[in-house]
Structures are given as C-alpha cells and as structure tokens.
Amino acid sequence: MSSNKQATNAQRHWISGRVQGVYFRASTRQQAVQLGLTGYAKNLADGRVEVVAAGDAAALQALQQWLWRGPPAAHVTDVQSVDVDVGSDEYEDFRTL
C-alpha cells in the first residue's frame, strides 16, 4: 500500500425524521455504490439512521446532499455530519447493518 492511501476522506451522518421503515438504508446503499463510496448505514434505537461513508470528497458531498432528501417515502428533518478519520482499507464495500 502506498503512503498516500493510508487515510481516506470519510464522514459520519445522523439522519432524523421519518427515516426508518421507508427503505432509507437500502436507498442510501444504492446511492453510495453509484458514487463509489464504502461504509455502512444502520438504524439506531432512537429512530435515526447512522451513515458512515468513505471515499472521494466530491462523492461524499453528493451523498450528504442526497441524505437530506432520501427515498420518496422518507421525510428528513435533520442531518448532522462530522468528518472522521478512517484507513483506506477500513470498509471494503457499502453495507446496510
């Protein structure tokens, strides 16, 4: 592994609103795969969805914009996002958990 691939751009998002039971995680996975991102989307016990995505900065920005819309049945009221540090081999693909 080359030294410039030891770290990669990554973000963690917490999405609030009507985001569980509306195909949000699967739709997020589809978007992330199309954008070439890796990471995961999972439901949280408090009703939010957590998304961690890693990859190209422009793709991360596109996913973040999409998270504000979500799939048609969703009603997103808030997206909180933070940058995180991950290794380039932290995630092999994008998964729903």
CA distance 52 to 84: 9
Angle at 76 between CA 71 and CA 80, to 5 degrees: 115
Active site residues: 25, 43
SS3 52: strand
Distance of CA 71 to the CA centre of its chain: 14
